[in-house]
Chains A and B, each alone.
Chain A
Amino acid sequence: MNYNVDEKGYYGDFGGAFIPEMLYPNVAELRKNYLKISAEPKFKKEFDNLLKVYVGRPTPLYFAKRLSERYNTKIYLKREDLCHTGAHKINNTIGQILLAKRLGKNRIIAETGAGQHGVATATVCALMGVECIVYMGALDIKRQAPNVARMKMLGAEVRPAKSGSKTLKDATNEAIRDWINNPVDTHYIIGSVVGPHPYPDMVARFQSVISEETKWQLKEQEGRDFPDHIIACVGGGSNAAGLYFHYLNDERVNIIAVEAAGKGIDSGKSAATSVLGKEGIIHGSKTLLMQTHDGQITEPYSISAGLDYPGIGPMHAHLYRSKRAEFISIPDQEAMDWGLTLSQMEGIIPAIETAHAFAVLEMRKFSPKEVIVFNCSGRGDKDLDTYIDYFKL
């Protein structure tokens, strides 16, 4: 089986471009150009150079010695938390801003939940001197004040999404409406492997630098360029897509995806889409999503705002249905405890999203010879308030 996107924009049963006609010219323009432009030597050179001198790549592949000893296996952390702006998100925004420039767009819009993608977008817009508008749920604006301030400092305009549940999915709706209203000069930088084709594939390709580096870094440290297990958290799934990308069709590598169970799968407050979701359409893509019996999209919950999305990218829906990846969901409490464990055992304070992934170590037994790579997708600075409240620090 092939786990990459097919020529029609599908991953098995999932994907496609279920978009209103108003978006067709924009999405078609991207579809016709994204592979061609990103393969141009000049583009690649500029992209690679910015990742190196601006983002700080390659990020280290760090052997976590104490963690490995405790679990009697070999644990590596791909340190995406060391990227400029504090997470993997900027790999994608660098790629998309370069693409937008080549398409002649001079106005950028984006959606953001916790604010990480908004900050990464505002950052590259400042770098390129391009107008930037970030849509953010009115509720999230209240919950994520420091990131709102960062975006403003970077020169972006933050527009509140006041419709529906006033969170990430509504911010995405508002960004799409903006794009409908501004079809000529605007590029929409989607932050995850979601949305209509070609977004899931395009974002996955820009994030694929994560597994590209992992391969040669592992080869250096372990003498082989593939691990036995790769583990990442999944909200929409962009950091996971980046870690999985070059291993998708390598059956020697076991893929584990970790979703947020929130207050528990059956609590009504969860974001475990693979368990609770059904096939449907969200934001232009056929995928698994959380919805009512009547097809209305429901509001997910997780203590980490970055996993708080009612769908998953179509690539992940396919990995789930085809059983290529194993999906595990982790409740708030375990994720928070792992935030503390990783801090105290390895001196790395992870984002709460990232912390979810590590809980797999308590759920699965790994042998001493096995090599595991975790995507350490983001750092915990943005979550300090939540950690302070939770642990009464």
Chain B
Amino acid sequence: MNRIARKFKEDKKLLSIYYSAGFPNLDDTVPILKKLEASGVDMVEIGLPFSDPLADGPTIQKSSTQALSNGMTTDKLFSQLENIREYIHIPLVLMGYFNPILQFGIEKFCQRCESIGIDGLIIPDLPVDVYHENYKELFDQHGLYNMFLITPQTSENRIRYIDKVSNGFIYMVSSSSVTGAKNTFGNNQTDYFQRVSAMKLSSPTVVGFGISNASTYSAATQHSNGAIIGSAFIKFIEEKGVERINDFIRSIRV
């Protein structure tokens, strides 16, 4: 069974962390991953940096640009992650824009993911219908889950379609915005979390975008199966350093 599916069978709210591979330093990718697993994080999204990340806010853009100037490439990331399954056991998701994956060769990309032990992909600019028509079979062959985003503007019909086509989990974007940390959620967001929860989807839901602290984490997970923190984590390691990752995780899960 795919590690993502197995993880959601545990009776708990998941905490997942996103970070850009190759940031702050080129070789930080694996040390960060080890610290995250050791501090009890349930799942990790590793970001493949892109020159033009149009769904991302300033924090992730900056880390992505820095990672590229550090020399991060798709090849480099795969070689860093080689043998990772000897010591990392939590589900791993690669998150990246479609163009670098296309240039790498999508079939070769899936093969490398499978051989390393990557469990799933999130490709924000690969629309669900294009995936369904052209790539789902390939992803399935390599045991890769593909997760899609929904937003407060996504219609019920479309959410049901995404629920049917995707596997793993549905990534609920907390508000209509690019990525970035926020301090609180308003009524609109809570209504939306409840609305989606009431749809009784077959996939679990994980909330992302705008989660930065214990209170947003707890609000987000009240009506979902987990939450993803990106920008706030990246800011933390930039300011406090990779060594103190455990402090950050403990401040979220109080």
Q: Please report A residues at the B interface, Cβ cutoff 8 Å.
A: 16-22, 24-25, 163-164, 169-170, 173, 176-177, 180-184, 278-284, 291, 293-298
Contact = CB atoms under 8 A, between A and B. Distances in A.
Nearest to A22: B151
Interface in B25-69: 50-58, 61-62, 65, 68
Given A163-B65, A181-B176, A295-B100, A20 B54 contact: yes
A169 B149 contact: no
Contacts of B148: 21
B176 A180 contact: yes
Name which of A20, A163, A184 has the most chain B CB atoms within 10 A of its CB.
A20
B231 to A, nearest CB: 14
Closest 6 CB pairs of A and B: A295-B103, A295-B100, A296-B51, A21-B149, A20-B55, A20-B124
A18 B158 CA distance: 16
A291 B75 CA distance: 16
B111 interface: no
Contact of B125 (A19, A163, A184, A291): A19
A21 B56 CA distance: 13
Given A22-B149, A181-B177, A280-B99, A164 B52 contact: yes
Contacts of B74: 294-295
A183 B100 contact: no
A326 to B, nearest CB: 27
A282 B127 contact: no
Interface string B119-132: 00000111110100
Name which of B62, B101, B103, B126 has the most chain A CB atoms within 10 A of its CB.
B103
A93 to B, nearest CB: 22
Contacts of B248: none
B198 to A, nearest CB: 20
B178 interface: yes
B52 A173 contact: yes
A185 B248 CA distance: 37
A21 B151 contact: yes
Contact of B127 (A18, A169, A184, A293): A18
Contact of B176 (A17, A18, A22, A278): A22
Contacts of B173: 21-22
A21 B148 CA distance: 8
Nearest to B51: A296
B150 A21 contact: yes
Nearest to B75: A294
A296 B102 CA distance: 11
Contacts of A16: 130
Contacts of A278: 103
Nearest to B173: A22
Interface string B233-244: 000000000000
B153 interface: yes
A18 B130 contact: yes
Contacts of A284: 125
A359 to B, nearest CB: 31
A298 B158 CA distance: 35
Name which of A19, A22, A170, A291 has the most chain B CB atoms within 10 A of its CB.
A22
A4 B86 CA distance: 53
Name which of B53, B58, B73, B99 has the most chain A CB atoms within 10 A of its CB.
B99
Interface string B90-108: 0000000111111110000
Name which of B52, B100, B154 has the most chain A CB atoms within 10 A of its CB.
B52
Nearest to B124: A20
Given A21-B173, A180-B176, A163 B61 contact: yes
Contact of B178 (A19, A25, A181, A184): A181
A295 B105 CA distance: 10
Contacts of A183: 151, 153, 176
17 contacts: A21-B124, A163-B58, A164-B65, A173-B54, A176-B54, A177-B178, A181-B177, A182-B176, A183-B151, A183-B176, A280-B102, A280-B103, A281-B98, A284-B125, A294-B73, A295-B50, A297-B99
Given A181-B176, A296-B68, A297-B51, A25 B125 contact: no
A294 B125 CA distance: 17
A170 B175 CA distance: 23
Contacts of A169: 52
Contacts of B56: 177
B91 to A, nearest CB: 22
A182 B176 CA distance: 7
A281 B154 contact: no
A281 B104 contact: no
A75 to B, nearest CB: 40
